[in-house]
């Protein structure tokens, strides 16, 4: 067959245009998908892993349905110092509700909160925190609670940075989530934090859908409410999504093992081990808080986000460990502006 | 600007080719997305609803993140007669395990199962069924249980059709799930059946990912198991995903109300009401079993999948009701072959 010039041009133009249809919406190869990560072993390990398991020719290829990535939240996707942000929320709620509870003026641990006495509050331990959570997180409907969280986030400011708490998400982790999503990983949050505390804001903050959030929860109860159905939040713990709870929660909500797991504390170790036991090639990433200037530096002795056994096991097994100070060009998105 | 003939052809070819890039992978407008549904009010209502809420110009437009569709499973996506298929599984497990439990020869409700005496079994009610579920669904690991379910499905045959149970999925509902997915609805199963009984096969049977399955569950426990971590299934009920449990489960797993809900029994009524209470335009679909020849006909007096209050409320509120006999051209996929 002989083509005239016009036919040739037509077919050439098809060749030129059609490949664009098959292209993924991801960036071309020469654009760095992780621009806020410094070059180094951690970044290289992430890129190599993703390139390997998404390569259909590789013996480590993972089909899309198995590409499950799980991320701890506090200290892993956003900061957790000087205390879990949800604790600041609970303390603000105690203050907001104090006029309805005159007894809190003398009753611990509420008195400690009203006095802004963190040392006293911590003396009441886990039991005291549960009391505060029950008094502030229950007794309303799911719709009401969501509105309360949203309003708090719109107005509350972090004590050190004087910025909304949602400004304190980690830019490098946002890039990592997006990079994994663009490579057809389904990304989940698996956090010890409250599931209904996280859901109102994670879609906007991280691009992770509400239904891909696993967290701690209190019991709930459906009520037909004369034709205007509601779900009531009850003052009773249902599930603690921490330590052994993480693989249990992953099994309950996702139903398969992750191939990629990321956390920053000993509370994530069981999730790491669960991912590591996947028969498919898996990747375990610990975020190590080493940057006292831009963020915080803490690990083995911290009461919040303690990383001790996890750090030893990561080193022993060759899991990737982010050295925040050296691996991350920026910590927060606002540093880019 | 004047174009020569070649330039013109080049630009025309772009116009010709580029629109193909933007096209969704869905079928063109003239292909029926629900070919196994007879024309009628139900089919028209479904098509009109989806066209309306996915039309960016419509006042009822629903953004993609809110397009949550929930489907009951038993009697809604596959058959549930003459008994829930999971009960047949449990009975087969009792028989398989009987040699390890000589006491079952005389102990009810196990004796009834070993004697194939369904009437006697039913006399032991819910309490008897729980006993059978605990004896057959717990005491192993999640991996072991998944393998047991898969092996059963590969070998067991339905007593009436003498076919694998997974052959008895409803072809019209497969088309409906696909149609909703192609219109960017996220499809979930919300079933009273066991979550870990469903997950091994729903991806292949319905094209619904494992993590989009909500069901009843027993308690589980993570065990490091000397470096080979497992999750053990414990003989204790955790959650019953039926009636009030359905909106509670939807809230726990999905975190937002469905806009589309489909069920076939009074056990789905609370889920229907939950979807109906969505501020976004919602669609409630009841499947009414009216076809004694091709499937089964039952509603108000059935012990399995009783549809009584739900049918009244559907009629009262104008929810869509599938008349299986008249609305569905075929029931099962094998009828197409």
For chain B, the three-class secondary structure string (H helix, E strand, C coil) is CCCCHHHHHHHHHHHHHHHHHHCCCCCCCCCCCCCCECCCHHHHHHHHHHHHHCCCCCCCCCCHHHCEEEECCECCCECCCCCCHHHHHHHHHHHHHHHHCHHHHCCCCHHHHHCCCHHHHHHCHHHHHHHHHHHHHCCCEHHHHHHHHHHHHHHCCCCCCCCCHHHHECHHHHHHHHHHHHCCCEEEEEEEEEHHHHHHHHHHHHCCCHHHEEEEEEEEEEECHHHCCEEEEEEEEEECCCCCHHHHHHHHHCCCCCCEEEECCHHHHHHHHHHHCCCCCCEEEEEEEECCCCCCEECCCCCCCCCCHHHHHHHHHCCEEEEHHHHECCCCHHHHC
Per-residue pLDDT tens for A280-333?
999 999 999 999 999 999 999 998 999 999 999 999 999 999 999 999 999 999
pLDDT score for A21: 45
pLDDT for A20 beyond 80: no
Evaluate if residue A235 carries a pLDDT over 70. Answer: yes
Query: Are the C-beta atoms of B238 and B219 separated by less than 8 Å?
Result: yes
pLDDT tens track, chain B, 337 positions:
455 665 555 555 554 444 444 444 455 668 999 999 999 999 999 999 999 999 999 999 999 999 999 999 999 999 999 999 999 999 999 999 999 999 999 999 999 999 999 899 989 988 998 899 999 999 999 999 999 999 999 999 999 999 999 999 999 999 999 999 999 999 999 999 999 999 999 999 999 999 999 999 999 999 999 999 999 999 999 999 999 999 999 999 999 999 999 999 999 999 999 999 999 999 999 999 999 999 999 999 998 999 999 999 999 999 999 999 999 999 999 999 7
* B220 close contact with A: CB closer than 8 A: yes
Give the one of B209, B245, B256 whose C-beta lies nearest to A65's C-beta: B209
Does residue A270 surpass a pLDDT of 90? yes
How would DSSP label each residue in A19-33? HHHHS-SSPPTTS-S
Q: How many CB atoms are located within 10 Å of the residue B26 CB?
A: 13
pLDDT recorded at residue B29: 66
Among B14, B229, B254, B280, the strongest candidate for a mutation testing the A interface, having the largest count of A CBs within 10 A, is B229
- State percent of chain A over pLDDT 90: 88
Q: What is the pLDDT of residue B17?
A: 47
Residues 6+ apart with CB under 8 A from A312: none
DSSP state of A139: S
Q: Is A273 on the interface with B (CB under 8 A)?
A: yes
pLDDT at A337: 79
B/e letters for A110-130, b = 16+ CB within 10 Å, e = fewer, are: bbbbbeeeeeebeebeeebbb
Nearest by CB to residue A251, choosing from B220, B247, B274, is B220
- Please, what is the average pLDDT of chain B? 93
Task: List, in sequence order, every residue forming a beta bridge with A74; answer none if it has no partner.
Answer: A78
Cis peptide, bond prior to residue A109, ω within 30 of zero: yes
**Residue in B with minimal Cα distance to A188:** B211
pLDDT in tens, A61-98: 999 999 999 999 999 999 999 999 999 999 999 999 99
Chain A CB within 8 Å of residue B31 CB: no
Q: How confident is residue A18, by pLDDT bands cut at 50, 70 and 90?
A: very low
CB of B312 less than 8 A from some CB of A: no
| Gap between the Cα atoms of A24 and A171, Å rounded | 23
pLDDT one-digit tens code per residue, A127-147:
998 899 999 999 999 999 999
What Å distances lie between residue B90 and B97, B145, B154, B156, CA to CA?
10, 12, 15, 12
Assigned token pair, A299: 């690990």
For chain A, say whether B57 makes contact (Cβ under 8 Å).
no
Residue B249 and residue B228 in contact, taking contact as beta carbons nearer than 8 Å: no
Report the gap between the CA of A54 and the closest CA in chain B (Å).
19
Distances (CA, A) of B12 to A9, B7, B9, B17, B21: 11, 9, 5, 9, 15
Question: A221 touching B, CB under 8 A?
Answer: yes
d(CA A70, CA A257): 9
The alpha carbons of chain A give a radius of gyration, in whole angstroms, of 23
Identify which of A86, A43, A76, A88 has the alpha carbon closest to the alpha carbon of residue A289.
Answer: A76
A229 and B18 in contact by Cβ < 8 A? no
Chain B residues touching A13 at Cβ < 8 A: 9-10, 13-14, 17
CA pseudo-torsion sign B225, A216, A220, B260: negative
Q: Tell me the Ramachandran region of residue B184: left when phi exceeds 0, alpha when psi lies from -120 to 50, beta otherwise.
A: left
- Residue A252 near chain B (CB below 8 Å): yes
Taking the C-alpha atoms of residue B195 and residue A255, their distance in angstroms, rounded to an integer, is 9
Among B238, B251, B267, B316, the residue to mutate for chain A (most A Cβ within 10 A): B251
Whether B10 sits inside 8 A of A14 (CB atoms) is: no
Q: Tokens standing for B168? A: 């008895």
Residue B134, Cβ density class (10 Å: 0-12 exposed, 13-18 middle, ≥19 buried): middle
Round the CA-based radius of gyration of chain B to a whole number and report it. Answer: 23
A24: closest chain B residue by CA: B21
Q: How far is CA A32 from the centre of its chain?
A: 22
Q: How many CB pairs under 8 A join A and B?
A: 116
Number of alpha carbons in the 13 Å side-chain half-sphere of residue B50? 19
Q: By the 8 A CB rule, do A90 and A206 touch? A: no
Q: What percent of chain A has pLDDT over 70?
A: 91
Contact A228, B277 (CB under 8 A): yes
Confidence of residue A5 (pLDDT cuts 50, 70, 90): low
What predicted TM-score, i.e. pTM, was given to this entire model?
0.91
Q: What is the mean pLDDT of residues A266-278?
A: 98
- Evaluate if residue A122 carries a pLDDT over 70: yes
Report the residue from A195, A220, A248 with minimal CB separation from B220: A248
Distance between CA atoms of residues A244 and B29, nearest Å: 51
Q: Are B272 and B278 in contact (CB under 8 A)?
A: no
Predicted pLDDT at A237: 94
Which of B222, B237, B254 is best to mutate for the A interface (most A CBs within 10 A)? B222
Contact A248 B209 (CB under 8 A): no
Put simply, whether B251 touches A (Cβ < 8 Å) is: yes
Predicted pLDDT at B6: 54
Give bridge partners of residue A188 from the DSSP assignment.
Answer: A70
Residue A42 CA to residue A60 CA, distance in Å, equals 19
- Would the pLDDT of A6 be above 90? no
Identify the band that residue A22 occupies on the pLDDT scale cut at 50, 70 and 90: very low
Q: Say if residue A1's pLDDT is above 80.
A: no
**What pLDDT score does B22 carry?**
44
pLDDT in tens, A28-54: 668 999 999 999 999 999 999 999 999
Distance of CA A10 to the CA centre of its chain: 50
Q: pLDDT band at A9, cuts 50/70/90?
A: low
Angstrom CA distances, A238 to A234, A280, B125, B220, stand at 9, 32, 28, 14
Is omega for the bond preceding B109 within 30 degrees of 0, making it cis? Answer: yes
Contacts of B292 (CB under 8 A, 6+ apart): none
ipTM of the complex: 0.91
The half-sphere exposure of A80 on its side-chain side, counting CA atoms within 13 A, is 24
Closest CA to A168 of A94, A301, A259, A74: A74
Residue A14 has pLDDT above 80, yes or no: no
User: Which residues, including other chains, have CB under 8 Å from residue A21's CB and lie 6 or more apart?
Assistant: B20, B21
- Is there a contact between B229 and A14 if contact means CB atoms under 8 Å apart? no
Q: Does A210 touch chain B (CB under 8 A)?
A: yes
């Amino acid at each position: 067959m002989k083509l005239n010039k016009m036919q040739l041009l037509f077919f050439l133009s098809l060749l030129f245009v059609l490949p664009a249809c098959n292209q993924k919406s991801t960036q071309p190869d020469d654009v760095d998908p992780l621009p806020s990560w410094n070059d180094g072993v951690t970044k290289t390990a992430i890129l190599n892993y993703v390139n390997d398991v998404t390569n259909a020719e590789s013996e480590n290829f993972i089909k899309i349905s198995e590409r499950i990535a799980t991320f701890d939240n506090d200290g892993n996707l956003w900061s957790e110092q000087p205390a879990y942000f949800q604790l600041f929320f609970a303390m603000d709620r105690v203050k907001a509700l104090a006029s309805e509870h005159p007894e809190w003026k003398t009753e611990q641990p509420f008195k400690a909160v009203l006095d802004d006495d963190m040392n006293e509050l911590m003396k009441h331990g886990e039991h005291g925190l549960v009391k505060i959570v029950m008094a502030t997180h229950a007794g309303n409907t799911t719709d009401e609670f969501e509105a309360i969280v949203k309003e708090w986030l719109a107005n509350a400011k972090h004590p050190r940075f004087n910025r909304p708490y949602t400004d304190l998400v980690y830019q490098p982790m946002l890039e990592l989530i997006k990079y994994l999503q663009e490579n057809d990983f389904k990304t989940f949050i698996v956090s010890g934090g409250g599931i209904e505390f996280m859901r109102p804001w994670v879609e906007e903050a991280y691009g992770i859908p509400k239904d891909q959030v696993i967290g701690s929860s209190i019991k709930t109860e459906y009520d037909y409410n004369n034709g205007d159905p509601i779900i009531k939040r009850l003052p009773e713990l249902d599930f603690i999504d921490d330590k052994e709870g993480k693989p249990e929660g992953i099994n309950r909500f996702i139903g398969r093992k992750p191939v990629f797991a990321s956390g920053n504390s000993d509370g994530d170790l069981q999730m790491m081990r669960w991912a590591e036991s996947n028969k498919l090639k898996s990747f375990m990433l610990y975020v190590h808080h080493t940057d006292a200037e831009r963020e915080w530096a803490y690990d083995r002795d911290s009461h919040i986000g303690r990383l001790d056994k996890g750090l030893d096991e990561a080193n022993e097994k060759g899991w990737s460990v982010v050295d925040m100070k050296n691996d991350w060009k920026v910590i927060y998105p606002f540093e880019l502006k």
